């Protein structure tokens, strides 16, 4: 039975770092929907040109397309456990994912919300824009993505809370402290 752990947090919350650390700790695969899109573009996969029209501007890619990519990854992977970030990003994707997991008799074990204030996220990403020059990050796309995050992804996180699967962690603590908090929560749950 495949197991899924989901990591949520706004842009700049450090969710990706935390997802990688937890995946390493558990020996699970780390899956990042945004990372997959960037890899597809680097490898010039045929569909990637159409997809990059959206994400390069900071817009969400169509649900159907991202779902197809993500679900295919899980179906073909030999891994038994996944720590995923970036998906599901809205309620439609959440419902599709819940149906998908149930249809396979797989299991969502836990969801973590790495909480960072909007102001701190803006500061962190502005610094990242100066240093990394990630091609989909500029002031305009940042604002769009944060707006989408609060209007579309926070309702998804609230659903995990209702399912009693959610743990919130303070994303403004150190990387090490956040990571140990997540690991010990996971180990005791």
Q: Which of residues 17-46 bind ligand AMP (CB under 6 A)?
A: 33-34, 37
Name residues contacting ligand AMP, limited to 105-164 (CB under 6 A): 145
Residue that the structure tokens 């990591």 belong to:
7
Q: Select from 5, 8, 11, 116 the one that contacts ligand AMP (CB under 6 A).
A: 11
Tokens of 94: 């959440």
String of contacts with ligand AMP for each residue 156-175, x by CB under 6 A: --------------------
- Binding range to ligand AMP, per CB under 6 A, among 39-47, 56-64, 106-114, 115-123: 56-64
Q: Among 84, 86, 96, 113, which residue sits at the site for ligand AMP (rule: CB under 6 A)? A: 86
From 28, 74, 87, 113, residue interacting with ligand AMP (rule: CB under 6 A): 87
Q: Least distance (Å) from ligand AMP to the CB of residue 107?
A: 20
CB of 78 to ligand AMP, least distance (A): 23
Residues in the site for ligand AMP, rule: CB under 6 A? 11, 33-34, 37, 54-55, 58-61, 66, 86-87, 89, 93, 145
């Amino acid at each position: 039975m495949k197991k899924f752990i989901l990591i949520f947090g706004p842009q700049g919350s450090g969710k990706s770092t935390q997802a990688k650390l937890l995946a390493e700790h558990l020996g699970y695969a780390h899956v990042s929907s945004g990372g997959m899109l960037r890899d597809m573009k680097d490898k010039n996969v045929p569909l990637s040109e159409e997809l990059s029209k959206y994400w390069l501007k900071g817009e969400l890619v169509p649900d159907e397309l991202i779902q197809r990519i993500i679900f295919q990854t899980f179906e073909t992977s030999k891994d038994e456990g996944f720590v995923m970030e970036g998906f599901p990003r809205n309620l439609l994707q959440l419902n599709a994912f819940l149906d998908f997991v149930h249809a396979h008799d797989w299991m969502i074990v836990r969801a973590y919300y790495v909480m960072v204030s909007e102001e701190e996220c803006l500061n962190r990403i502005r610094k990242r824009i100066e240093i990394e020059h990630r091609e989909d990050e500029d002031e305009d796309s940042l604002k769009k993505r944060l707006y989408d995050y609060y209007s579309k992804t926070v309702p998804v996180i609230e659903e995990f809370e209702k399912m009693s699967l959610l743990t919130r962690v303070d994303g403004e603590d150190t990387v090490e402290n956040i990571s140990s908090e997540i690991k010990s929560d996971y180990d005791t749950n």
